[in-house]
Amino acid sequence: MLSKPTLGQDSNDSCRTGLITTLVNVLDFFSTIYFWYIFFMTGYWFVFFKLQERVYCFMPTHITYWENFVQYDWLFGWVTGCKLVFVFFKVYFDQSSFDVYLIDWERPKAQQNSIPIVEDDNKQRNEQIQRRLEDKIDVNAWRSLFLVNELNELQSYKIISTNVTLFLYGLFMEGFGLRYWTNFDPELMTTRNNAEESWVIFFFVSTLVMYSIAAVQYVGRYAVKKWFPLKTEEFTDLCSVTNISVMIFDDSFGGYYIHGRSPYGFTEISSEKLRRSLEQEARG
């Protein structure tokens, strides 16, 4: 099993991991470059076949597959395969191996005994229970558990919603008839006709629609960020409320730090004191 090199591993493991990481990054670079190459190449065919007043070029039909389309299919397959390898490596060997540390700044304090002691004949046992309850000095673990739970939910948080993107994609392609832009008719049609659909132009139209929907979601989400903060920003505020800092190491010698130390020193207080503190902080 692959693992990240640490200070305790030998040089052979570090070199092996470094070579595999470099190879995967090369595959990612190749897939990204040639994805956009295919996009602009098919976009060129779409523009000069569909958007001209006079005939400029013709699209070859699928009958000439082995002469005109087999190279496109091979390149598309390599791009897809390389990107899938990179995503698998990124999720399984990289993102799943982050080291997360919590720094609890809450100072322990004596817990008040609110449990009545029922006295019986064993006086020594009663004294031991009373002393153990009075001398209990600890911090509450629920703050850490709640913070870790929110951090776990952030692992699947996305600014661009997959469900919204797929719904709008189906609406535009099938409902508004944009899929019929991909046929061999040089006119932009939004209704079915007898012309055959070209999967080469279909790639361009699908990518254009998908990226347009994603771009609108991304810009719109940041446009309303002032009134509806991002989940990541809310998590940073939660760190301050819980008085816990977070250290995330995504590399052997680097990572991220969220300073969550509360300016008031204590967070295990009543809800009324917490509310007044937050209002005071909001007023500045």
Q: How far is CA 71 from CA 65, 67, 78, 81, 139, in A?
A: 9, 8, 11, 15, 65
Quote the pLDDT of residue 156: 86
> What would the pLDDT profile of 255-271 be if each residue is shown by its tens digit?
999 999 887 777 777 77
Quote the pLDDT of residue 230: 93
Sign (positive/negative) of CA torsion 208, 214, 220, 226?
Answer: negative
Instruction: Choose the weakest-confidence range: 44-53, 190-199, 258-267.
Output: 258-267
> What would the pLDDT profile of 214-249 be if each residue is shown by its tens digit?
999 999 999 999 899 999 999 999 998 899 999 999
Cβ contact 86:27 at 8 Å = yes
Cα gap 92→86, rounded to integer Å: 10
Quote the pLDDT of residue 67: 87
Using the predicted structure, report yes or no on whether residue 109 has a pLDDT greater than 60. yes
pTM given for the model: 0.79
> What would the pLDDT profile of 57-99 be if each residue is shown by its tens digit?
888 888 888 888 999 999 999 999 999 999 999 888 888 888 8
Which amino acid appears at position 7 of this protein? L
Cα gap 5→253, rounded to integer Å: 10
Quote the pLDDT of residue 98: 86
